Amino acid sequence: MKSTTSSSFFSQFASAVADRSGKPATFVVAVALVLLWAICGPMFGFSETWQLVINTSTTIVTFLMVFVLQNSQNRDGKALQAKLDELILTSKAQNSFVGIEKLDETTLREMSDTLAEKAKCVEAVAEEKALDAVGS
Domain ranges of the chain: 2-93, 103-136
Number of C-beta neighbours around residue 44 at 10 A: 13
- The reported pLDDT for the residue numbered 135 is 73
pTM: 0.61
CA separation for the pair 112, 93 (Å, rounded):
15
Q: Quick one: how many helices (H) and strands (E) in the chain?
A: 4, 0
Average pLDDT over residues 39-62: 95
Average pLDDT over residues 86-103: 81
| pLDDT tens per residue, range 53-83 | 999 999 999 999 999 999 989 989 889 988 9
Q: Does residue 46 carry a pLDDT above 90?
A: yes
| pLDDT tens per residue, range 6-29 | 778 888 888 899 889 989 999 999
Total residues found in the chain within this entry: 136
Please state the φ and ψ torsions of residue 45, each to the nearest 5 degrees. Answer: 65, 30
pLDDT band for position 125 (cuts 50, 70, 90)? confident
Under 8 Å CB-to-CB from 35, ≥6 apart: which residues? none
- The reported pLDDT for the residue numbered 129 is 85
